[in-house]
């Protein structure tokens, strides 16, 4: 009888386990189907929607479902809450594609959409403070003089941006207004716009650069200054680590960087060919006369140049010369450098 009972219970347990497995698999495939994109391939299409100000996550989920952008509004709401973005989705006009994954839709809604009350602008990589102020002034977004006055002293923003406390007193924001595309309210003040750009720099620096910089014993100013020179010297992303390696190698050997970009910064213009007189200008930013890095950045570097600054290529290169097409020829000796330079001039 004991054997029969044991066998009977085993059968019951086996049946229960089978049911649990079947239900789990059913639930798994159901959830996966419900959170998958509505369409794929050629069937996917862009859909423009307006999310009113003050919309709750539930309201946004219903709006997305009604417009055929998601399959299941309840699943969308659960994922938003799981990502701790409940209440953080923003109003505005969005053009979404019903071939998008839910996580990508949430990311877009977290950034904020277009609005009649906002304006977008893009700051190119390698722009200097003066160029940024001029661009925004021309677009009617800021008063150039006020923007520059605020940007000339980091103490105007250190209270709200801890990253700036790593810099020396009296420094400007040159290099720390991150080049990116922004959307701001039309009545946003110069302070608010500058803060938004510093915040973006702080976000990327903390996420991608700070840890490696610490390991390399490079402080914030050193990283950003080197990255700004790399930004102005290199046009191709794949060459940025090589340019970085040249500068790292020269710094280790106490050789002047001899960067044309630093002299152009002194001149206030981007001369394609520098004269001997240009390279002899007395300035702490003149890397032809002075070994080491300049005292501060010369432009706003993008993330690829910042990454290159702390991730130089493993190479013995000490020189590079522009090829005229955006690329460079890298060499190890001065003799090789002269050969490459003469070749490009002929």
One digit per residue, the tens of pLDDT, for the chain of length 346 reads: 454 456 667 777 778 888 888 787 777 777 777 878 888 777 888 888 888 877 889 999 999 999 999 988 888 988 989 888 888 888 888 888 888 888 889 988 888 766 667 788 999 999 999 999 999 999 999 999 999 999 999 999 999 999 999 999 899 999 999 999 888 888 889 999 999 999 999 999 999 999 999 999 999 999 999 999 999 999 999 999 999 999 999 999 999 999 999 999 999 877 777 778 888 899 999 999 999 999 999 999 999 999 999 999 999 999 999 988 889 999 999 898 888 887 776 5
d(CA 265, CA 341): 23
pLDDT value of position 19: 84
Q: Hey, how many other C-beta atoms are within 10 angstroms of the C-beta on 263?
A: 23
Helix (H) or strand (E) holding 50: strand 46-51
The C-alpha R_g of the chain, in whole angstroms, comes to 28
Q: Show contacts of 66-73: CB within 8 Å, 24+ apart.
A: 68/38, 68/98, 69/38, 69/96, 69/98, 69/100, 69/105, 70/38, 70/102, 70/105, 71/33, 71/34, 71/35, 71/36, 71/38, 72/34, 72/35
296 neighbors 222 (Cβ within 8 angstroms):
no
Host H or E run for residue 322: strand 319-322
Alpha carbons 300 and 124: distance in angstroms, whole number: 9
What's the pLDDT at 1? 47
Q: What are phi and psi of 142, to 5 degrees?
A: -135, 165
Asked if 192 contacts 215 with a C-beta cutoff of 8 angstroms, the reply is: no
| b/e burial code for range 134-163 (CB count within 10 A of at least 16 → b) | bbbbeeebbebeebbebbeebebbbeebeb
Tokens 């799981």 found at: 82
pLDDT at 311: 97
**What's the confidence (pLDDT) of residue 112?**
73
pTM equals 0.69
- The pair of structure tokens assigned to 33 is 């189907």
Task: Spell out the domains of the chain, with CATH numbers in brackets.
Answer: 41-111 (3.30.1490.480), 118-206 (no CATH), 218-345 (no CATH)
Helix runs in the chain, H state only: 2-35, 57-66, 73-82, 102-111, 129-138, 144-151, 190-204, 210-215, 220-233, 240-252, 260-267, 276-279, 303-310, 334-345
């Amino acid at each position: 009888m004991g054997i029969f009972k044991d066998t009977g219970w085993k059968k019951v347990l086996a049946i229960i386990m089978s049911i649990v497995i079947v239900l789990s698999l059913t639930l798994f495939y159901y959830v996966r189907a419900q959170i998958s994109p509505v369409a794929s391939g050629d069937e996917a299409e862009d859909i423009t929607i307006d999310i009113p100000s003050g919309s709750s996550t539930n309201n946004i989920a219903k709006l997305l479902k009604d417009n055929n952008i998601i399959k299941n509004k309840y699943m969308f709401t659960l994922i938003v809450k799981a990502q701790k973005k409940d209440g953080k989705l923003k109003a505005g006009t969005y053009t979404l594609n019903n071939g998008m994954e839910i996580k990508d839709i949430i990311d877009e809604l977290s950034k904020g959409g277009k609005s009649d009350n906002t304006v977008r602008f893009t700051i190119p990589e390698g722009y200097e403070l003066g160029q940024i102020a001029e661009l925004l002034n021309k677009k009617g977004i800021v008063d150039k003089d006020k923007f520059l006055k605020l940007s000339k002293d980091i103490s105007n923003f250190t209270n709200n941006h801890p990253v700036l406390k790593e810099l020396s007193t009296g420094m400007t924001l040159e290099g720390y207004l991150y080049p990116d595309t922004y959307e701001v309210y039309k009545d946003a003040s110069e302070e608010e716009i500058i803060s938004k750009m510093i915040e973006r720099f702080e976000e990327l620096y903390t996420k991608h650069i700070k840890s490696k910089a610490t390991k390399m014993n490079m402080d914030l100013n050193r990283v950003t200054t080197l990255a700004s020179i790399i930004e102005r010297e290199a046009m191709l992303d794949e060459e940025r680590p090589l340019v970085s390696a040249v500068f790292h190698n020269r710094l280790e050997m106490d050789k002047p960087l001899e960067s044309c970009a630093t002299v152009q910064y002194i001149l206030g213009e981007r001369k394609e060919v520098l004269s001997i007189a240009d390279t002899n200008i007395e300035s702490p930013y003149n890397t032809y006369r002075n070994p080491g890095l300049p005292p501060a950045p010369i432009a706003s570097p993008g993330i690829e140049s910042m990454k290159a600054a702390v991730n130089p290529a493993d190479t013995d290169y000490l020189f590079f010369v522009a090829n005229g097409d955006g690329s460079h020829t890298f060499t190890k000796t001065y003799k090789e450098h002269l050969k490459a330079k003469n070749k490009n001039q002929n």
